[in-house]
Amino acid sequence: MDDLRELALRCLLINDPLEKVQQTQALYQRLLAGKLETSDNAFSVPDEPGRPDKPALVAPRDLPRRRNSAETGNASLIHAVCHIEFNAINLGLDAVARFSGLPQQYYTDWARVAFEESQHFMLLRNHLNSLGYDYGDFPAHNGMWEMARKTHHDPLIRMALVPRVLEARGLDVTPKMMNKLRGSGDLRAVEILEIILEEEIGHVKVGTRWFNYLCEQRKVDPLATFKDLLDNYFSGELRGPFNSEARKLAGFTDEEMALLEGR
């Protein structure tokens, strides 16, 4: 049988977003059908994923402010979320391809995350099309992948910092974003973000599950480890407000929430 992790690597390297979506969804369906095995092979996974020529990637400070305008309306905001979901497809695929020697459920979980992120991407991309734009029409930043690159060497650090910090920020900011879109009358965008918010809680929970698993495996304390990683990688940069209800559904403990809110 074909190898899940090798096929995930192939998907990761695809540049065209629509082909990446198609192949990622096919990969997950084959996994569910029992047509893939999962090897412990060590693959050579590049630092950068496949991505299209556009959007142009710029530093976060160089992004134009996303505000409604007579010309673009909410399109730049929808594009920004669409870009996050494209990155999230790659993050799910990378988590499958890069790290070996983990339980089968780990690979199944992250293949499912990549599949669901591809669905989110298409919902947003189709809505962007309905507004007269496409993915790539606005500049974007690469902050999420830059953090992923800093965690390529260790799945524990990846689980702690990408799903439980960067992706968890989506749990914090999405309700406010939905209110803004509701106020502007873009109710279809609100419906899409409702779907994404519910499923992203599950994705962050996957990160929590495997962070705790790896902490237990290495006999380290999860709270102390999480604190040390926040100090080392996000010194003073992680600020609230935090969506405590959503984060607790995603597996954050009261102690972790106190740690975040006290920073």
Q: Where does the pLDDT of residue 144 fall: very low under 50, low under 70, confident under 90, or very high at 90 and above? A: confident
Q: Domain limits at 61?
A: 2-36+51-261
Q: Assign 41 a pLDDT band (cuts: 50, 70, 90).
A: very high
133 occurs within a structural domain: yes
Residue 189 domain-assigned (yes or no): yes
Rounded to 5°, the CA angle 43-46-52 comes to 130
Confirm whether 27 is domain-assigned. yes
Residue 41 maps to a domain: no
The total number of structural domains in the chain stands at: 1
Residue 252 lies in a domain: yes
**Is residue 177 assigned to a domain?**
yes
- Given the structure tokens 């977003």, which residue do they identify? 17
The tens digit of pLDDT for each residue in 81-128 reads 999 999 999 999 999 999 999 999 999 999 999 999 999 999 999 999
In a domain, 195, yes or no: yes
pLDDT band at 71 (very low <50, low <70, confident <90, very high): low
Question: How far from 90 is each of 15, 33, 169, 256, CA to CA, in Å?
Answer: 11, 22, 18, 27
Contact 155, 80 (CB under 8 A): no
143 inside domain: yes
Q: What is the pLDDT of residues 235-262, one digit of tens each?
A: 767 888 999 999 999 999 999 999 998 8
- For 136, list phi and psi in degrees, rounded to 5: 110, -10
